[in-house]
Amino acid sequence: MSAFKNDNFNERLSTAANARKAALEKFRARPGPDDPAVLERQAAQKATAEAREARIAERKAAREAEAARQAAEQAARVAQQEAEAAELAAHQADAAVRAAALDADKKARVLALAAEQKAARDARYAARKARRR
């Protein structure tokens, strides 16, 4: 059988100390804020952010232009409908005037015909009376 080793705690302490040292060395090895790689990465991030803002502004402008176009189309449709309604009202008024004129003309002809027929009937009646005398 193997002998009992009591240095297990000491091994854990040294392993933890080595891990702290490795983390400290990794932190110290990190590039500084004036390192060219860091500056390049920051410039790339800034360019990406500016491009994103430009795309957002472009989409907003496109939405506003589309809304303005739709509003103009709606206004044009309303104006066209109003013009058509006015034209229809004018046609209806013209038709009503023509119908009234035709009615008046027809009534005048009917009255003239009735008067003419009455005059002819009266003339026949007067001729019959004159023949009897």
Record the pTM.
Answer: 0.47
DSSP string, 82-93: HHHHHHHHHHHH
Tell whether the model's pLDDT for residue 88 goes beyond 80: yes
pLDDT of 14-66, one tens digit each? 999 999 999 999 888 887 778 888 899 999 999 999 999 999 999 999 999 99
How far apart are the C-alpha atoms of 114 and 12, rounded to whole Å? 135
Identify the pLDDT of residue 33. 78
Phi-psi region of 88 (alpha: psi -120 to 50; beta: other; left: phi over 0): alpha
Both tokens assigned to 90 = 């004018």
DSSP classification of residue 3:
P
Q: Is the pLDDT of residue 7 over 70?
A: no
Whether the CA torsion 67, 72, 75, 77 is positive or negative: it is negative
